[in-house]
Chain A
């Protein structure tokens, strides 16, 4: 079985500041992928960033970057220069054994 744990139900950050969302996981698969999804109030699931487990280099997408620590099974998301539009639920997810397993989410609030 694979599990994803997000230990921060809520986080807040001042606009333009940096925030890091935590995620740990467990899997017996050797080939897997990790993701961060954003879910705004519209409920649409939006892919923010992905990381292939076999790649050592941390993924980056504009203001979003990850810190992937494979041995520690940790996959945190850093959002730089936070914007009001970043306010949403953020879900960490793992793809292995042909299915996505999601964490329980972190609600991110941006303080103007």
Chain B
């Protein structure tokens, strides 16, 4: 069973361009989380999705950032008109079912390191 896959692993964009980050969850996992790690900081929650639904986007910046998890295909984190402050590592994690009142382990991908020039 392959782990969580993210691509690309490294992405370089110039200011004003768009960045699209992809996350393929583990087989059988229908829930995806995105986290951002700024240099020398911990991971910060961005968004929690299940297929075709955004469950919690309380950590997403209000502008330029969007996320989706379609019925078919990977989850996409999209950053429009990137700025230098968007440079960070973006991690995706997947879990097999809703958290409800108990925890379902989140399995992390290797991350995508975005560099904005």
User: Interface of A with B (CB < 8 Å)?
Assistant: 4, 31, 33, 42-45, 47, 50, 52, 91, 93, 95, 98-105
Contact = CB atoms under 8 A, between A and B. Distances in A.
A45 B108 contact: yes
A26 B45 CA distance: 16
B25 to A, nearest CB: 15
A91 B42 contact: yes
Nearest to B101: A31
A45 B59 CA distance: 20
Contacts of A42: 110
Q: How large is the interface on B (under 10, 10 to 19, 20 to 34, 35 or more residues)?
A: 20 to 34
Query: Looking at chain A's contact residues, is the secondary structure mostly helix, strand, loop, or mixed?
Result: strand
Interface in B29-81: 33, 35, 41-45, 48, 55-56, 59
A100 B45 contact: yes
Given A98-B99, A99-B56, 19 more contacts: A4-B42, A33-B103, A42-B110, A43-B89, A43-B113, A44-B110, A47-B105, A52-B103, A95-B103, A95-B106, A98-B48, A98-B56, A99-B45, A99-B48, A100-B35, A102-B35, A102-B43, A102-B44, A105-B41
